[in-house]
Chains A and B, each alone.
Chain A
Amino acid sequence: MPISTKLRRLAVGVVLHAFAGGVAAGAALTRSDFIKLELRPRVCTMSAHDQQCSTVVQAQWQSSRDESLCLLIVGRPEIKHCWEGYSEGIYTLKLAFSEDLVVELRDPQLQTVLVSEAITVIKEALRLRRKRRQPWSPF
């Protein structure tokens, strides 16, 4: 096969691949792709003796268009804050938690999770060792 034919086929292949990729990317765009959620802090570190991580949590979201959505925290049904027709929002609260804290933005009907982020809890490991066995001890 002549080299020119090979080059022509290769060029067609590249164009088709690029086109297909673009279509796929366009089709995958959803509402959640426009919304960005950031949590602070991103990580909460507990010492070995801490029972809980107690800190002020700030959740900030932004969108390239106006949104109506609600902020929820997994496992904390009492916490809910909603916005209607806003392109950004900040919600701050003090929380104590011992496991990873998952924050979600959902549609106003709370059916669909638009975006979620988590604050990771890192617990310092206890350094343990076996106690000396002393059956001889008088006490």
Chain B
Amino acid sequence: MLDSWPVATLGQLKRTTLARLYGKLDHRTMRQISRTAMFLLLATFVSLDVRAEETDCSEPSADCVEMGQWDISLSLGGGVRTNPVRSNSDIPLLAIPKISYYGKRFFLENLELGVTLHETDSNAFNLIAAPGYDRVFFVRNDLQNVFINSVPSGLYAGAGFVDTTAGRVPVPGNVPLRPRRITYLAGPEWSFSRGRLTGQLNALYEVTGRHKGTEVRAAVSAPVIRRKGELVVSGGATWKSAELVRYYYELENVYEPGAAFNPFLKVAYDLPLSERWALSAFVHYEHLADAVADSPLISEPQVTTAFVGFVYKVL
């Protein structure tokens, strides 16, 4: 029944209620999994040896970069980012480019840029600008999906999709849907390291005038295995204001969501093979808050991104 949504009319919404209840059971299960995962993550961090390991950046390393130099790498491999939007197909990951540049204050990391206001060995305060993330699920050619080849659309593509390249989403019946434009969010960022623990906290406001929502991004990570290869566990959450959630997941006169809190867990492994090559793999699991998952546009209450491949350092 859920799968029939893209061709459903407004009158059919009520018939999906039962199925949605089953969906909520899944949500609870997923919430429990998320909470358990977060607990395990915190337990891992607490048990870590948190002696100071900050370096003074006297030579290039994974944590220290040379100013004025471009850093370009390309990950080649296989992976997928599941797409929670109903009838929109999963996003295959075949090639993931990474570009960064650091000046004395300015920095660029792929599509994010910023200025460092104050920095010590263990703390950094930046002003950053970052693209709105949720658009990746609606628009295949979003820059955040760059180098990710498209695959044939889902079962209901013919009935549901309306010109995805223009930023439109499936149109159920005659419900008008607005396009999801490129947005940028800007605001302060605090990042820190305490021993092996690394943290990041952003408070971002949408500055491109599309929805004027806010988003708070918070995460911590720590290496749990550090030999030749490194296994890093990260956990965190994204809080999205009601304005932001509505911009992406609202169905006018049908569904009006509130704010959302999406926790995530990530495990990543990197193994340097040579000066230019490395093996890289990661799994990133994000649980979608009810405000998002309950949207008729959404069929899955989670997003999983997984990739394994080789990283080639171009510059």
Contacts and interface: CB of A to CB of B under 8 A. Distances in A.
Interface of A: 48, 126-136, 138-139
A133 B67 CA distance: 16
Contact of B96 (A127, A130, A133, A139): A139
Given A136-B202, A139-B98, A129 B217 contact: no
Interface string B186-219: 0000011100001110100000000000000111
Contact of B284 (A131, A133, A138): A138
Given A131-B63, A132-B107, A138 B266 contact: yes
Given A133-B193, A136-B236, A127 B66 contact: yes
A47 B121 CA distance: 26
Given A135-B199, A136-B219, A129 B98 contact: no
Nearest to B233: A135
Given A135-B220, A136-B200, A130 B119 contact: yes
A66 to B, nearest CB: 51
Contacts, number: 78
29 contacts: A48-B66, A126-B60, A127-B67, A127-B104, A128-B59, A128-B65, A128-B67, A129-B64, A129-B102, A129-B104, A129-B119, A130-B64, A132-B114, A133-B124, A133-B191, A133-B193, A133-B198, A133-B199, A134-B109, A135-B199, A135-B219, A135-B220, A135-B221, A135-B234, A136-B219, A136-B238, A138-B305, A139-B96, A139-B307
A129 B57 CA distance: 6
Nearest to A125: B58
Contact-size category for B: 35 or more
Given A130-B63, A131-B100, A138-B286, 6 more contacts: A127-B104, A128-B59, A131-B64, A131-B65, A136-B202, A136-B234
Contacts of A135: 198-200, 219-221, 234, 236
Nearest to B64: A128
A23 to B, nearest CB: 53
Contacts of A134: 109, 191, 200
Given A136-B218, A136-B219, A129 B65 contact: yes
A72 to B, nearest CB: 33
Contacts of B176: none
Contacts of A131: 62-65, 100, 102
Instruction: In the A-B complex, list the 8 residue pairs whose CB atoms are closest, starting with the nearest.
Output: A135-B221, A136-B219, A135-B219, A133-B191, A127-B67, A128-B57, A135-B234, A136-B217
A126 B221 contact: no
Nearest to A138: B284
B203 to A, nearest CB: 12
Contacts of B121: 130
Nearest to A126: B66
Contacts of A126: 59-60, 66
B116 to A, nearest CB: 8
A133 B193 CA distance: 8
Contact of A132 (B68, B109, B217): B109
B282 interface: yes
B144 to A, nearest CB: 9
B109 to A, nearest CB: 6
A133 B221 CA distance: 10
B7 to A, nearest CB: 31
A130 B124 contact: yes
B89 interface: no
A133 B116 CA distance: 12
A135 B60 CA distance: 20
Nearest to B237: A136
B126 interface: yes
Interface in B277-298: 282, 284, 286
Given A133-B198, A135-B219, A136-B219, A128 B60 contact: yes
